[in-house]
Chain A
Amino acid sequence: MTPEEKAAYYESRKGRNKAIGLGLAGVCVLFFLVTIVKLGVI
């Protein structure tokens, strides 16, 4: 892999990792909200 290819690979991996992180965080928030709704807190 050339340095340019390596940089492109790391860049795309970083973007995917961020998206997965945000997705997981979103699911956590959603389940928290759903739980407190089901408990009748809000």
Chain B
Amino acid sequence: MEDLAIRLTGQGAAAPAAARPVDLSTWRDYVDLLKPRVMMLVVFTGIAGMVAAPGALTGAIHPIIAFSAILALTFGAGAAGAINMWFDRDIDGIMTRTATRPIPAGRVAPDAGLTFSIFMAAASVFVMGMAVNWFAAGLLAFAIWFYAVFYTMWLKRRTPQNIVIGGAAGAFPPLIGWAAVTGDVSLLPALLFAIIFLWTPPHFWALALVAKTDYGAAGVPMLPNVAGKAATRRQILGYTIVLAIVSVLPWFLGYTGAIYGIAASVLGGLYCISSLEIFTRKTASAAWRGFGYSIFYLFALFGALIVDKAGLPL
């Protein structure tokens, strides 16, 4: 059957019926579809939200239920990422950074990718509902919809504020982690939500400063392409300052101890210095450093929260 294409092209619908591609995708390709690196951040911030909830470490949630919640959160986030990859396969193929993703690279057929991601999304919400509670499941379903539909399909290609509003999707994990334990939400998880919400724009805009040409070629209206690099640097600095202030609020309001307070102050100060460097030096290397630091910042901040809440020795 020499008419069978050996690799998937991602253009299955346009190909003649006789040239059905052979599926050579591996399970690793499907793992890649779930954006494992993003999943790590989701898991970490979700665990932090869970640990911060009252009684989480003293029996308010059974370890197996907590594990189920984290598992559902992980695969829910992965499913949202996979739907994003399915929808963005056209522009992902144009951008250097994303061209090797499973769908644009032709390792996973678009239809198979979509089926997989919808199944994972439904399964994760179902597991969260059945094993944990339906409030957390509702939040998870809303977060998946927000990222996969509202951000990916509507916001991303329409407005340079895409990442500002869309950033809310990535801010849900601590809220869901908290809700998994308590069945509700309160001010502390709302502050954790706000921290990730405010962290997202400077994080992505630092990357967009470096990948301006890539986003421009793909027609994605990222801030540097629409408002220019100078305005983007200004916005990065502004958001970072607000973030640094908001990040110490959990301590200031008495929700956390000194470990978190000191960590938030130091990390926030360093983030401000990093953003100031982006603003003043105006170089790609400064933007790269800012992007790298932003990832470290979030892990370190939520790590400090876990240490603080768990009462672990430094």
Contact = CB atoms under 8 A, between A and B. Distances in A.
Nearest to B24: A12
A19 B30 contact: yes
Contacts of A19: 27, 30
A27 B22 CA distance: 29
Interface string B120-137: 000100010011000000
B1 interface: yes
A9 B23 CA distance: 7
Interface string A1-33: 100010011001101101100000001001101
Contacts, number: 46
A27 B30 CA distance: 18
Interface residues on A, range: 10 to 19
A37 B64 contact: yes
A30 B131 contact: yes
Contact of B64 (A5, A13, A16, A33): A33
Interface of B: 1-2, 4, 6, 22-27, 30, 62, 64-65, 68, 71, 123, 127, 130-131
15 contacts: A1-B1, A1-B2, A1-B22, A5-B6, A5-B22, A8-B24, A9-B23, A12-B23, A12-B25, A15-B26, A16-B27, A27-B123, A34-B64, A34-B130, A37-B64
